[in-house]
Amino acid sequence: MYPADLNYTKDHEWVRVSGDVAEVGVTDFAQQQLGDVVFVELPAVGTALTAGQAFGTIESVKAVSELFAPVSGDVVAVNDDLVARPETVNGDPHAAWMVRVKVADAAELASLLDANGYTTLVAG
């Protein structure tokens, strides 16, 4: 159910790492819990993120939730299409990346869950 090429946080973000850049989005589980996404607030390129700290918000018809950085580093890209069309998160959450972050400390990646670990987390 959850792509094996991604890693996951306990806060329901996914991470796809390519070299020293991590692409970040929200999981299918998160978008199901939220319902119809109507707004996404993301940081500007150049913003420094700290692992575990909020970096933006996602708003649905049900609630507003914070987005948490899975790794520390500087934002190198923001998905402006997602800001313009936030409902994309509901259509394909594992393709609808939010930010790309130049990873400052690769050791932080070890704390992320693999697909099996995340499946166990959401099932429990």
Residue 81's CATH number: 2.40.50.100
Confirm whether 48 is domain-assigned. Answer: yes
What are 99's strand-pairing partners? Answer: 24, 78
Confirm whether 56 is domain-assigned. Answer: yes
In this predicted model, what pLDDT tens digit does every residue of 37-69 receive, in sequence order? 999 999 999 999 999 999 999 999 989 999 999
In this predicted model, what pLDDT tens digit does every residue of 73-89 receive, in sequence order? 999 999 999 989 999 99
CA distance 66 to 53: 9
Confirm whether 123 is domain-assigned. Answer: no
pTM for the model stands at 0.94
Confirm whether 1 is domain-assigned. Answer: no
First to last CA, the chain: 15
Domain range spanning residue 60?
Answer: 7-107
pLDDT of residue 82: 94
User: Which amino acid is located at 92 in the chain?
Assistant: D
Extended beta strands in the chain, E state:
7-8, 13-18, 21-26, 37-41, 48-49, 54-60, 64-68, 73-78, 99-103
CA distance 105 to 50: 10
Domain count along the chain: 1
